Amino acid sequence: MDIVYIRDLKVDTVIGIFDWERRIRQTVSLDLEMATDIRAAAASDSIDDALDYKAVGKRLISFIQESEFQLVETLSEKVAEIVLQEFAVSWLRLRLSKPGALRGSQDVGIIIERGTRPSA
């Protein structure tokens, strides 16, 4: 299986458990690896046969901008559900980080894998 990826997709959203976090928008960053078979797209050279990463990105940006979750865990699960249900993806690895969430660190976040893991 092949991997189509999106790296460092930055989206502003309401995320956090503290009152001050509920009043502002913070940036989250996503790295997404999606299992797909690219052979048909490579043969046809047509976007109709490809996993359209622009469509995936636009859908996730829209969803995340409109969301207001407390936990990155919840946001991560919802993002994974969207990708698996709405796009031709059987497995994904998602890294969702929240820069500036912990003083002294570049970022904190979560990495999840969902779906049927591709075989080597």
Who contacts 59 (Cβ-Cβ below 8 Å, separation ≥6)? 82, 86
**From the CB of residue 87, how many other CB atoms can be counted at a distance below 10 Å?**
17
**From the CB of residue 97, how many other CB atoms can be counted at a distance below 10 Å?**
21
Who contacts 119 (Cβ-Cβ below 8 Å, separation ≥6)? 1
- Distance between CA 7 and CA 23 in Å, rounded? 28
Query: Where in 1-120 does DSSP place strands (E)?
Result: 2-15, 26-36, 68-69, 91-99, 107-115
- Catalytic residue flag (residue 98): yes
Task: Please identify which of the residues 10, 54, 78, 98 carries the catalytic annotation.
Answer: 98
Mind telling me the catalytic residues? 98
